[in-house]
Structure 1
């Protein structure tokens, strides 16, 4: 599991995370909701070790992400992360994009890396796109390529940071379907999202963040259908009106 205890994060003098306490249980899909600037994306980057913290601790399967002696590169193989932007290498085909980290980080030879990459591209529905460059793929396909690239490292956990917010509405469904597939296969996921319907239909628990704190956490029914915190209530009212 992922255990987050009293985590504080600052950018300069601005405190973004103000004592976050959170657990992510094996096999669950935890949705992080909150307005822009509430600290959701920063929290994901702290979990993955991409951002240092100024207080508290984050344990992944008992390993302290931010301990001085932790091999963060090795730990990140447990933590696949997919961002809002696809970040594909434009000069590499879909297959080459997925195989690259397998060769450079996991040290697979070129043949084995290609076999693994093909498997994961097929897994996300891109088996017939492996020889195309990213510019020939739709936004939804590029985002599924990013998911395949993360999955190829065989992570224990997947972190998703607003992965559909840059997509045209008609392309959102194919990415969410891929995430639902991963959930059905037992992948543990932390998903930053503004998509309330996805959280309701696919989430196991929901955490609402406001100004760097977890204001409310519970099951989908508890947080989305019967929120106790006034800030959660106001946020959901605005989202439903939108």
Structure 2
């Protein structure tokens, strides 16, 4: 599981995370919602070790993320992360983009890497796009390629940071369908999202972030239909 204990994160004088406590169990889907600047995306970065913390502790299956003794590169193989932008290499084909880390990081042979890449690209509906360059894909297809690239590393956990926010509205559905598929397959996921219908449908729990803290956390029905905090109720009213 992922355990987050009293985590504080500052950028200079700005206190972005202010004592966050959270546990995510294997197989759980947790959605993080809240206004811009509330700390959601920063929390994902801290879980993956891309950002340091000033106080507290984050452990992934008992491994302390920010310990000086932790091999972060090894740990990150188990924690896939997909961002708002897909960050593809434009001079490489879809297949080459997905095989790159398999060959360079995991030291897979070309044949083994391509077999894994084809499997994952087929998994997200891109079997017919293997030899295409990223610029020839739609935004939704590029984001699905990024998901396949992360899945190819066989992670135990997947972190998604507003993966539909840069897409045209008509392309959002195909990416959310991919996340729904992963949820049904039992992938442990933490999803930062502004897609409230998706969060309600897929999540086991929803965490509402407010001023760098988890202001309220609970089952989707509780958060959307019967929130206990005024700030949660105001946010839900503003986005539904």
Question: Aligning the two structures, in what range does the TM-score lie when normalised by the shorter sequence?
Answer: over 0.9
1:15 corresponds to: 15
1:153 corresponds to: 153
Separation in 2, partners of 1:187, 1:21: 22
2:232 corresponds to: 232
Q: CA deviation at 1:221?
A: 1.1
Q: Could you tell me the TM-score, scaled by structure 2's length?
A: 0.99
Q: CA deviation at 1:14?
A: 1.1
Q: CA deviation at 1:47?
A: 0.1
Comparing 42-51 and 7-16, the one that deviates more: 7-16
**Corresponding residue SS for 1:74:** helix
Following superposition of structure 1 onto structure 2, how do residues 186-225 of structure 1 map, counting pairs within 5 Å? 186-225=186-225
Q: CA deviation at 1:109?
A: 1.3
1:184 corresponds to: 184
**Corresponding residue SS for 1:128:** helix
Following superposition of structure 1 onto structure 2, how do residues 1-242 of structure 1 map, counting pairs within 5 Å? 1-240=1-240
Q: CA deviation at 1:106?
A: 0.6
Give the paired residue count.
Answer: 240
Q: Could you tell me the TM-score, scaled by structure 1's length?
A: 0.98
Report Cα offsets for 1:191-242 as digits up to 9, x if no partner. Answer: 00011100111111000000100000011111111101111011011112xx
**Corresponding residue SS for 2:209:** strand
> What 5-or-longer segments of structure 2 have no aligned partner?
none
Q: CA deviation at 1:159?
A: 0.2
Separation in 1, partners of 2:16, 2:201: 29
Separation in 2, partners of 1:214, 1:92: 40
Report Cα offsets for 1:55-87 as digits up to 9, x if no partner. Answer: 000000010000010000000011000000010
Report Cα offsets for 1:137-196 as digits up to 9, x if no partner. Answer: 000000000000000000000000000011111110100000000011100000000111
**Corresponding residue SS for 2:163:** coil
Separation in 1, partners of 2:24, 2:217: 11
- CA-based RMSD: 0.5
